[in-house]
Amino acid sequence: MERIFQITAVILIGVAAYFLWSGNKDATFIAAVLGAVAFFLSVRFQVKEKLKQKDDFTPETPRHGDSEINLAEDDKSEIK
């Protein structure tokens, strides 16, 4: 999916360059904005994939605060 957005971004920036060369400023702006949006969507998909891989690789460990809460609850039950 990210490759599709990268290719789209390159094509739209090329189209924007053509419109700039031909003097059509409105079409240049629209094509450049759409190219920038496509570029940032490709970056978003790259980051999303890296985070997914990182989450799959990292084993689940209890958080520091969770273990303290459990220990405190165990201590209260022993006092009664």
Query: Could you tell me the residue range of the domain that residue 34 belongs to?
Result: 2-74
Question: Tokens representing 80?
Answer: 């009664």
Question: Tokens representing 72?
Answer: 């405190």
The answer to whether position 66 is within a domain reads yes
pLDDT score recorded for residue 78 = 57
pLDDT score recorded for residue 2 = 86
Angle between helices 25-57 and 2-22 (to 10 degrees): 160
The answer to whether position 25 is within a domain reads yes
Global pTM reads 0.65
With tokens 């605060």, the residue in question is 65
Task: State the CB neighbour count (10 A cutoff) for residue 29.
Answer: 13
Q: Number of structural domains, the chain?
A: 1
The answer to whether position 35 is within a domain reads yes
The answer to whether position 50 is within a domain reads yes
The answer to whether position 80 is within a domain reads no
Per-10-residue mean pLDDT for the chain, 80 residues long? Answer: 92 96 97 97 93 80 57 55
The answer to whether position 79 is within a domain reads no
